[in-house]
Structure 1
Amino acid sequence: MRIAVTGSSGLIGTALVRSLREDGHQVVRLVRRSPRAEDEAEWDPRRQWVDTTGLMGCEAVFHLAGAGVGDRRWTDAYKKEIRDSRVLGTAAIAEAIASLDTPPRVLVSGSAIGFYGDTGERAVDESAPPGHGFLPDLCQDWEEAAGAAQEAGIRTAFARTGLVISAEGGAWGRLFPLFKLGLGGRMGSGHQYWSFIALRDHIAALRHILDTPELTGPVNLTAPTPVTNREITAAMGRVLRRPTLFSVPAPALRIALGAMSGDVLGSVRAVPRRLLDSGFTFAYPHVDEAIKAALTQEG
């Protein structure tokens, strides 16, 4: 199958491209520069322009591009960059594939469990309404930006991603070194839920969406056993055999992270109802297993 991927240089995109190619699929990587290889095609999300010649013949598109939510402090300027990179980029991809004489059968577009806002101890599946605040508003607009693809009859699914456990990068990649040094600990009260997913399960779930025609609309990509920050901290200590005595008080996080502290201190207890109902099996449903997999089975 010929498959296009945006965000192919990111943590998830890199792993997805590797997985697809290992199984013999032809992958076209959409890049924001002049192509340097035969498997690349150019696009510019800011100008909402896509070189559609690279999309011709594609049966599927994975749209994973977007400025990193945890890469910088959330200034007003960076919040605009986070938003524009997702909303404008998604609109560009959706409109480009909708314009093709033979469009792809499926678009799997990135989203996030930030859609639900702070849910406290309440478990939420894909039927839950959006929350309030920057991330819920962003996720709603991000998903709505794919409207052109849906109107063209392209099966469109939104991968509402949780916290991906990986030693290779992302937020978790920055936590591992601290915990290995014995400097890790809970954040705030530690009672907030962090809905995690192992990187390998995340890639398998994306491919499950691709291969499962009934999966349209939102799909939570989180493990079936969400845990609190306190429980994750304890698991990191167990697996790494390191103390987890340090903690960061909520006021300190608010000062250090600004608006982004709400994402760290907020609680999202998301469950992957649609993945489970469609027959998906998690290889690493529990946090200890996911942490061990990140340390021993990636690469």
Structure 2
Amino acid sequence: MGNAAISLVRSLTPKEYGFTLVILILAALAGFYCFIRAWKRWHLIKDTPTARLRSAHQGYIELEGKGKSLPDRPIFAPLSNHQCLWYHSLIERKETILEQKRTRTEWKVLYRNTSNHSFLLDDGTGIGLVNPEDAEIISNEKLIWYGNTEWPVRTGILSNGSAIVALASRYRYTEQLILPGQRLYIIGHLQTRSLATERSVRDIARDLLSDWKQDKQQLLTRFDTNRDGEIDLAEWEIAREAALSQAQTIHQQLLHETEIHHISTPRNCLVPRCAGMG
């Protein structure tokens, strides 16, 4: 085998030899880059302890749990029509290229679409809202099938297409999916929010005053104590105090509302547990 490789190298023209050498160098650099990236990811996962939503600190954390769809908001992959939590869809067309009296085939991308719809993560102690936008996602559910129309005319199944069909088809359809109920491993930024933390008493009071201004007659009825048809400074101060008092009552009610855990970027990584990560 070694002699055959030496003979093959000797048969190359200087131009072919240079081209082959460049390809090998680029392949080595790409392999080194992938190794460093995987090594950094492994250390990131190794050094980040798994938290629970019930007691998790705010900021960069690691979570595990089952993925769930938002109620009444199912997501369907555009090519296979499978219900899912997240998808990355790709349509490619096979093209034949003639170069120096040789032909080669390559796949040209015609359509690419990545889901940015939020979904839920249930870790048994709480439920978090996951925003996958700009996240790095590794999915082990991958569909590849083939056809002769630009848009697939049949629904893909959770299996790969045969090599014979691939050779005879002009189009290739690919989808990566995260499915409902799948165990997920997530590293991301956690921020727990509630309506009470999002809106202060002064914010609520300002909105109340803005609403009251929209109905001038009602405003005059409530606060125009001298009945001159105008709200003077003293009367406006009374209106402000009334708005603050009502805002405090509303804010106290908001304190009892359910908190929402948001999991998002910067630089979050969503990795299905069954993909062997974590």
TM-score normalized with structure 1 length: 0.22
TM-score normalized with structure 2 length: 0.23
Q: Which has the higher helix share?
A: 1
